[in-house]
Amino acid sequence: MNESGAVWSSLLGRLDLNALPLYSKVATAAASLVLLVIIAALILITVKRWWPYLWREWFTSLDHKRIGIMYVALSLIMLMRGIIEAVMMRTQQALAVNSASGTSLNRGSAPRTALVRGTQ
């Protein structure tokens, strides 16, 4: 193993490209959408030449109002991420119902409801 391979191995451990969920169309589409939005935002910031302004006035600011605005913006981004992931999970469940694997939405809740009723 060469020196750069040792560095990546120490950083990532056994994580490799096989960990990407390329087998799932929904997960691949969601990851692609997120990646495209990030690339589009970076291109927009670069084309408009906003990097110096953002660095001086926002990213390194000690102003409590700007820090609060950045906090709220980041929380809204994380909210959108959560919504996207929830939609992705529900879509995967909907695609799995009555599939060849025999997965059913009701089967997962059956043991829990049986325990609540005390019938098991």
CB 23 within 8 A of CB 95: no
What tens digit of pLDDT does each residue of 69-103 get? 999 999 999 999 899 889 888 988 888 876 665 55
Q: What pTM was computed for the model?
A: 0.58
pLDDT above 60 for 116: no
Q: CA angle, corner 38, sides to 25 and 14, nearest 5?
A: 60
The pLDDT assigned to 118 comes to 54
Q: For residue 105, what pLDDT is reported?
A: 52
pLDDT tens digits for range 14-61: 888 888 778 888 788 888 888 999 999 999 999 999 999 999 999 999
How many Å separate Cα 116 from the centre of its chain? 34
Report helix, strand and coil shares of the chain as percent, to nearest 5: 75, 0, 25
Residue with tokens 């060469």: 2
